[in-house]
Structure 1
Amino acid sequence: MSQMARRIVRELHDEPHLEGRRITVQFIKEQVEGRGLEPRTVADRHDIDVADVYRALTYYYDNPEEMRAVEQDREAAIEEHAHLTTDPEDVRN
């Protein structure tokens, strides 16, 4: 695991993420709070320091307006592309 603490940046996908990685603040928050995983488990699964997990969670709660905008952008993208998905009940053998 990396011993270097990562900063939270917005270089990729216009969403806050760990510097040098594609792991977003939103993803880490969802893993810990949405899926109920321990921060150490998230860190181990993604080869990051547990401090990076806490850093991402801190960023999430320190920037509620920004994170709300990120969530709204994700929801809008899902809705915009919903027509591209197939409902399993519509698939015929």
Structure 2
Amino acid sequence: MSQMARRIVRELHDEPHLEGRRITVQFIRAQVEERGLDPRTVADRHDIDVADVYRALTYYHDNPEEMRAIEHDRQSAVEDYEHLTTDPDDITD
């Protein structure tokens, strides 16, 4: 695992993520707080330091308005492009 302390940056898709990685703050929060995974497990699965997991969680909770806006933008994008997706149940042989 990298021993380099990572910063939270906004370089990819305008969403906060670990510097040098595509792992977003929102993804890490979902793994720990929604799925109930231990921070060490998340760190091990994604080859990051456990401190990076805590940095992401801290960033998420220190920036609630920003994170709500990101989630709103993500949900709007899903709704805007929903008509372009296919439900597997609608596919016939």
Q: Which TM-score applies when normalising by structure 2?
A: 0.97
Deviation (angstroms), 1:8: 0.3
1:13 corresponds to which residue?
A: 13
State how far apart, in whole Å, the 1-side matches of 2:35 and 2:84 are.
27
- TM-score, scaled to structure 1: 0.97
| Structure 1 consecutive aligned stretches of length 4 or more whose deviation exceeds 3 Å | none
Match of 2:52 in 1: 52
User: 1-side partners of 2:77 and 2:44: how far apart?
Assistant: 30
- Offset of residue 92 of structure 1: 0.7
Offset from partner CA, 1:42-80 (integer Å, 9 cap, x none): 000000000000000000000000000010011011111
Q: Distance in 2 between matches of 1:38 and 1:76?
A: 30
Matched, 1:68 2:41: no
What corresponds to 1:40 in structure 2? 40
Percent identity of the aligned residues?
82
Partners of 2:59 and 2:26 in 1: how far apart?
Answer: 10
Q: How many residues align?
A: 93
Separation (CA, whole Å) in 1 of partners of 2:42 and 2:36: 10
How large is the Cα RMSD of the aligned pairs? 0.7
Runs of 5+ consecutive residues of structure 2 not aligned to the other structure: none
Give the letter aligned to residue 38 of structure 1.
D
